Amino acid sequence: MNTFERCAKFLKPFLDRKSERQLNSPPLFVGVEGPQGSGKTTVCRQLAERLSVLYPNLNFVTFSMDDFYLTFEEQNEVAANDPTNVMLNGRGLPGTHDVDLLLKCLKQLATEKTNVDIPIYDKSQHRGRGDRVAFNKWIHIKKPTLIDVVIFEGWFNGYPSYSSEEDLISKWNKVKLRYPSVFENIGYEHIAKLNRDLVRYQAIWDYFDAFVCITTNTIDNVYKWRKQQEHDMIKQKGAGMTDDEVVQFVDRYMPVYRLYYDRLAETRKKIPSIEISIGLDRRLLPASYL
Ligand SMILES: Nc1ncnc2c1ncn2[C@@H]1O[C@H](COP(=O)(O)OP(=O)(O)OP(=O)(O)O)[C@@H](O)[C@H]1O
């Protein structure tokens, strides 16, 4: 069994129920989480393509947290407002998305009262710094199209913020001792800001009816996966990050993994969910076959 087959098996009862749908029932929201490079985009594409063949009466839409990055100008402003905060110096982490726009889209999809316009982000614009594409290139869902299944992926989907400052500080003290290089240039004010930003995302997770978590035996695999991706890109397009650049790039994300990754179980307890564990080769680890 592979990741797609395991996801499809988990989602089958939800989709069977949905396929006997009642008119105007809200869509099924499927959240997909997985560390960078774990294969989220691939599995979401496979789910939308193959499940729409298996369930021809259901309309699927797939999009990503990445589509909701702030515009180039807004991101520059975020970085300029907090110049010592390396975590906000460029897109990627909590605090660099238009959460209000995302919540508006989710609400519109849930209530089906209006047309829905879903943005698309182009990472290649501004020499790789990225920007949101023009409105006419967004995904436009026009009434009376009924969306039955929303598949939404993001690398920190479901990460629960800390509601107690004491817990946040205690975790921060532990992880910065254990991973000093990751937290080298990060002060408590940056961690507190990160947590405040993450609080705003919690309302997104509340939409999930089903939650797919692709987990891995060690989060350090993210470095290796990204190196592979960049090596492939250099082969195909002649350009890509060097191994050292990859380390620097992934380091910027690591504080979030180190602070929150092991708290995902909290979200999983609240939502019907599945944990699909993969190894470095992205094959399922034995427990995931169940
Ligand atoms: N099951 C798999 N087995 C082997 N390779 C895979 C598998 N799934 C995805 N890949 C490959 O791994 C790479 C990363 O996949 P993908 O872009 O889907 O991951 P991602 O989690 O969405 O990454 P990111 O967060 O960086 O966008 C791609 O080159 C893809 O072809």
Higher pLDDT pick, 87 / 239: 87
The residue whose CA has the least distance to atom 4 of ligand 1 is 282
Write down the ipTM of this complex: 0.93
> Given this model, what pLDDT does residue 238 score?
84
Place of tokens 């906000």: 88
| Per-residue pLDDT at 257 exceeds 80 | yes
> Given this model, what pLDDT does residue 20 score?
86
> Given this model, what pLDDT does residue 146 score?
82
Domains of the chain: residue spans and CATH = 3-67+141-277 (3.40.50.300)
Q: Does the Cβ of 42 fall within 6 Å of ligand 1?
A: yes
Q: Cβ(151)–Cβ(208) under 8 Å?
A: no
Instruction: Indicate which atom in ligand 1 lies nearest the CA of residue 232.
Output: 29
What lies within 8 Å, CB to CB, of 262 at 6+ separation is none
Q: Does the Cβ of 229 fall within 6 Å of ligand 1?
A: yes
Look up residue 170 and give its two tokens.
């205690």
Compute, in degrees rounded to 10, the torsion defined by CA atoms 192, 152, 241, 73.
-60
The residue whose CA has the least distance to atom 29 of ligand 1 is 229
Averaged pLDDT, 148-176:
97
Ligand 1 centroid to residue 253 C-alpha, Å: 17
Look up residue 107 and give its two tokens.
């609400």
Ligand 1 centroid to residue 38 C-alpha, Å: 5
Q: How far is CA 108 from the centre of its chain?
A: 20
Q: What pLDDT, in 10s, does the model give residues 210-230?
A: 999 999 999 999 999 999 999
Q: Does the Cβ of 34 fall within 6 Å of ligand 1?
A: yes
Dist CA 276 CA 56 (whole Å): 26
> Given this model, what pLDDT does residue 215 score?
94
| Per-residue pLDDT at 290 exceeds 60 | no
The residue whose CA has the least distance to atom 14 of ligand 1 is 37
| Per-residue pLDDT at 203 exceeds 90 | yes
Ligand 1 centroid to residue 225 C-alpha, Å: 8
Q: Which of 33-47, 57-71, 111-125 has the lowest mean pLDDT?
A: 111-125
| Per-residue pLDDT at 289 exceeds 70 | no
Dist CA 118 CA 142 (whole Å): 11
What lies within 8 Å, CB to CB, of 164 at 6+ separation is none
